[in-house]
Homo-oligomer: A and B are copies of this chain.
Amino acid sequence: MSGATKDTEDTSDCWTVGQLAGDLGVTTRTLRFYEAEGLISPGRNGTSRVYDHRDRARMRLILRGKRFGMSLPEIREIVGMYDGAASSERRQLQTLLDRLGEITLDLQARQRDLAGTLTEVGDVADQCRRRLDELD
């Protein structure tokens, strides 16, 4: 009797569409759509989709991309790289490395953008507080 509930083998390290959708806060339609778009490729048990830890991690990557405002094609490129990272072809690894450098630069630019926005928002908040003080 381990600590984890063990009803079916499903609960241990695999998920159905409904389970994973519920966990991630998306709908089953979304998961199927992403599969049709080539973003994930879960296994099958008969005709039913079976998602493992790798699929789950991939989905978290995808959702983070969405939070960053990326389009699905852009996201597909990024997550595809995690697969290519295990490659053994020098050319492919070098291309991937170059692309990762570009992505890093983009992310750093976003960081600066965010930082600037934060100070701006802080400035507006300061203005608000000053005006509130003046109203005494």
Give A contacts to B, CB under 8 Å: 64, 66-70, 81-82, 85-88, 90, 93-94, 96-97, 100-101, 103-104, 107-108, 110-111, 113-115, 117-118, 121-122, 124-125, 127-129, 131-132, 135
Contact = CB atoms under 8 A, between A and B. Distances in A.
18 contacts: A66-B69, A68-B114, A68-B117, A69-B69, A69-B70, A85-B124, A93-B131, A93-B132, A96-B128, A97-B128, A100-B121, A101-B125, A104-B121, A104-B122, A108-B118, A111-B115, A111-B118, A114-B114
B67 A113 contact: yes
Q: How many copies does the complex hold?
A: 2
Name A's interface SS. Answer: helix
B124 A82 contact: yes
